[in-house]
Amino acid sequence: MENLDYNVHPPHLYEGYKSTILRSPTKPLIPVASMLKDLTMPAFGESVLRKWDNDLTKNGQRNGEPIGERIKLSGKVMDEYGRPLKQVLVEVWQANAAGRYIHKAEIHDAPLDPNFLGAGRMLTDDEGRYTFYTIKPGAYPWGNHYNAWRPNHIHFSVIGKQFEHRLVTQMYFPGDPLFDFDPIFQSVPKHARELLIARFMMDWTEPEFALAYEFNIVLSGSNKTPFEQ
Amino acid sequence: MKKLRDTPSQTVGPFFAYGLTAEQYSYDFTSIADGLLVNQEGDQAKVAITGCVFDGKGNVIPDAMIELWQGDSQGKYNDERIGKDREGFWGFGRLGTGTQRGHKFYFTTVKPGSVEKGCAPHINVILFMRGSLLHLYTRIYFDDEPEANKKDPLLNLIPESRRHTVIARRVETGGLVEYTFNIHMQGENETVFFDVKN
């Protein structure tokens, strides 16, 4: 029987990613799980969603379609026992097809797309599933070290049920040649990196329209919470 | 039953603003939360929670994001779904540190009551930033609750010499009662952060 290593998160200090050096705590965290009991996170209602919030190919349109490869992304949000987490808020943001973020402080010399914002959100359904359409993001350079490039990725923020379910992460695409050179991706223990990579799903592609990927998200509870049915 | 592995955490990065705090930063997208945890029109007594986040060199961090989550004046957490038309008290806020002078954050809320007997009033804080691969949890306690703070079981887990790092200071501004809560990532006054899974 395979022994799974549950230590999947990056450390706070990872020197290859230089910004962690002055921004990570130097003292050990204080364990408080036993004090939190059943503290939940806030839940959000359908009214925080607008019509095209789950379609990034549409929610930034001004005078036409955004440029790039249209893709569909879907996955389940679940707890560590595989139970679906429904009505969970999933927020996403990303660069456009040219590798340019719409953020005002972004200085990368690649074109903005007037028809692409790059942000969206959705609530998971009763099966814990979210689905959105977007444009495949491009790679972009950053200042961490000489000739540093980020692999193509989409940022995710997930507000789960329990307080300790909160997750912010980045989803990557299979086979990216930049994995070996990216300290943010490399900060995750080697055995767990596959958990950040979406799976190409031929069965889910929409003929003549979009390729599809699956990215499931697992949010575990406190290690002190016993399993309850 | 075999447990699944968590999805690993990654940094929020420098460019979260147009996705997570769009209205605060004037992007053409809506926000699900901002600096208000209570409806400003209501008649509940409001307080402000303000401060800055400092790095290991003592420089202010201009691209952090802070979430607050707290109970109401009776210590009760909102268990209704938060919608677009926020009324009364909902208790969740989210701000980036990139829009106010001095890179301060400024939340408007009510001072929470005790969640349960023996616990001091407090606000949960979740902190994200470029350079943070894994978000951090801390709490805001209040310096005008010395008796309750003395008995609070979680506060008592913290070595006495570090307890002051999670206690906000009350400041009278003439307007709202304001509590100052600065977060120090490192150094002499390094804020106490919590492991909420263990």
pLDDT mean for each 10 residues of chain B (198 residues): 91 97 97 96 92 98 98 95 91 97 97 91 98 98 97 97 98 91 98 96
CA separation for the pair B48, A22 (Å, rounded): 28
CA separation for the pair A73, A113 (Å, rounded): 21
**Dihedral (C-alpha) B53, A12, B164, B172: value to the nearest 10 degrees?**
20
CA separation for the pair A88, B3 (Å, rounded): 20
Which residues of B are less than 8 Å from A117 in CB distance?
Answer: 18, 27-29
Catalytic site includes residue A140: yes
In the predicted structure, residue A226 carries a pLDDT above the cut 70: no
Backbone angles phi, psi at B34, to 5 degrees: -155, -145
Total count of domains within chain A: 1
Nearest CA in chain B to A4: B5
- H-only helix segments in B55-156: 146-151
Look at residue B85 in the predicted model and tell me its pLDDT.
Answer: 87
Catalytic site includes residue A145: no
CA separation for the pair B93, B32 (Å, rounded): 9
Backbone angles phi, psi at A162, to 5 degrees: -90, 155
Q: What is the CATH number of the domain that holds A212?
A: 2.60.130.10
**Alpha-carbon distance B35 to nearest alpha carbon in chain A (angstroms):** 15
Half-sphere exposure of B1 toward its Cβ, with a 13 Å CA cutoff? 12
Question: By the 8 A CB rule, do A138 and A98 touch?
Answer: yes
Is A117 among the domain residues? Answer: yes
- On average, the pLDDT of chain A sits at 94
Is the CB of A223 less than 8 angstroms away from the CB of B198? yes
Question: Which of A150, A165, A172, A213 does the annotation list as catalytic?
Answer: A150
Across A170-193, average pLDDT = 98
What is the architecture of the domain spanning B17-184? Sandwich (2.60)
Question: By the 8 A CB rule, do A12 and A25 touch?
Answer: yes
Nearest by Cα to B134 from B25, B6, B4, B5: B6
- For an interface test with B, give the residue of A7, A54, A89, A93 to mutate (most B CBs within 10 A): A93
Question: By the 8 A CB rule, do A51 and B162 touch?
Answer: no
Domain boundaries, chain B: 17-184
Tokens for A86, please give them. 């429904």
Across A59-65, average pLDDT = 96
Alpha-carbon distance values, B107 to A206, B23, B38, B112, B129 (Å): 45, 15, 10, 13, 18
Look at residue A112 in the predicted model and tell me its pLDDT.
Answer: 95
Instruction: Identify the residue whose tokens are 């206690």.
Output: B167
Burial B158-169 (b: 16+ CB within 10 A, else e): beeeebebbbbe
Is A17 among the domain residues? Answer: no
In the predicted structure, residue A1 carries a pLDDT above the cut 50: no
Is the CB of A36 less than 8 angstroms away from the CB of B196? yes
CA separation for the pair A161, A38 (Å, rounded): 10
In the predicted structure, residue A229 carries a pLDDT above the cut 50: no
- Residue A206: how many CB atoms within 10 A of its CB? 12
pLDDT-above-90 percentage for chain A: 89
Look at residue A228 in the predicted model and tell me its pLDDT.
Answer: 46
For the segment A114-153, what is each residue's pLDDT rounded down to a tens digit? 999 999 999 999 999 999 999 999 999 999 999 999 999 9
Residue A80's domain comprises: 52-219
Is the CB of B7 less than 8 angstroms away from the CB of A23? no
Tokens for B169, please give them. 């200071």
Q: Phi/psi class of residue A81: alpha, beta or left (left: φ > 0; alpha: ψ in -120 to 50)? A: alpha
Parallel/antiparallel/unpaired status of strands B123-129 and B64-69:
antiparallel
CA separation for the pair A165, A162 (Å, rounded): 5
Tokens for A128, please give them. 């814990």
Question: By the 8 A CB rule, do B142 and B169 touch?
Answer: no
Catalytic site includes residue A172: no
Which residues of A are less than 8 Å from B163 in CB distance?
Answer: none
Alpha-carbon distance values, B12 to A34, A49, B42 (Å): 28, 22, 34
Q: Give SS3 for B139.
A: strand
Question: Which of A100, A121, A153, A165 does the annotation list as catalytic?
Answer: A153
Nearest CA in chain B to A101: B15
Torsion sign across C-alpha atoms B115, B34, B48, A103: positive
Is A47 among the domain residues? Answer: no
Is A34 among the domain residues? Answer: no
Look at residue A116 in the predicted model and tell me its pLDDT.
Answer: 98
- For an interface test with A, give the residue of B1, B2, B15, B23 to mutate (most A CBs within 10 A): B15
CA separation for the pair B46, B111 (Å, rounded): 7
Is A227 among the domain residues? Answer: no
Is the CB of B135 less than 8 angstroms away from the CB of A105? no
Question: Which of A130, A140, A172, A213 does the annotation list as catalytic?
Answer: A140
Q: What angle do CA A210, A214, A219 make, to 5 degrees?
A: 145
In the predicted structure, residue A225 carries a pLDDT above the cut 70: no
Nearest CA in chain A to B11: A169
Which residues of B are less than 8 Å from A91 in CB distance?
Answer: 19-20, 32
Is the CB of B20 less than 8 angstroms away from the CB of A222? no
> DSSP code of B150?
H
Is the CB of B195 less than 8 angstroms away from the CB of A227? no
- For an interface test with A, give the residue of B2, B5, B37 to mutate (most A CBs within 10 A): B5
* Kind and range of the H or E run holding A219: strand A217-219
Question: By the 8 A CB rule, do B103 and B62 touch?
Answer: yes
Q: Which ipTM was obtained for this model? A: 0.97
For the segment A67-116, what is each residue's pLDDT rounded down to a tens digit? 999 999 999 999 999 999 999 999 999 999 999 999 888 889 999 999 99
How many CB pairs (< 8 A) connect A and B? Answer: 250
**Alpha-carbon distance A181 to nearest alpha carbon in chain B (angstroms):** 16
Nearest by Cα to A138 from A103, A177, A94, A179: A94
pTM of the model: 0.97
CA separation for the pair A183, A151 (Å, rounded): 10
Question: Which of A14, A70, A129, A155 does the annotation list as catalytic?
Answer: A155
Nearest by Cα to B96 from B174, B23, B197: B23
Catalytic site includes residue A150: yes
Look at residue B113 in the predicted model and tell me its pLDDT.
Answer: 96
For residue A187, what are the contacts with CB-CB under 8 A and spacing of at least 6? Answer: A10, A11, A14, A16, A17, B10, B133
Q: Which member of B8, B69, B192 has the closest CB to residue A10?
A: B8
